[in-house]
Amino acid sequence: MIDRNEFLKNDVKKCLEYWMPDAPAPILLFSLVGKSIVKHLSFFNENEKLSLFQHIELGMTSDNEELAIAVATGLVEALVTASDANESVWKEIEYYLQVESKKHALAWKNFGQ
């Protein structure tokens, strides 16, 4: 059985290798993680999904403003954008999002409508 977190780890590793010797901008790295979550969402079990989205919420509500901004504009916005073409995936993501992350995701999804 594959460790589901390996999907995320491998995507992050590829990004870090691509940007070497520099580090990628946090927003870019978080965006990649958001896209990876959408791409591999069906491989995560219920507990893993709950844990992932709890970590996203913790990032959104962090006292570290740079982290909170990077999670919101990188990860959460990537979750929305990457799931735009698949309504069932978006509904699943929306289900797991928590208060602040859901508020930001819905604002991003509805921006300009």
The pair of three-digit structure tokens given for residue 32, joined into one six-digit string: 């990649």
Residue found under tokens 């859901």: 102
10 phi, psi to nearest 5 deg: -65, -40
Q: What is the rounded average pLDDT of the residues 2-26?
A: 81
Distance in angstroms between the alpha carbons of the first and the last residue of the chain: 43
**3-class secondary structure, 107:** helix
- Which DSSP category does 44 fall into? S
Higher pLDDT, 19 or 82: 82
Distance in angstroms (rounded) separating the CA atoms of residues 88 and 39: 13
Q: Which band of pLDDT confidence, cut at 50, 70 and 90, is reported for residue 16?
A: confident
pLDDT at 83 over 60: yes
Total-model pTM: 0.89
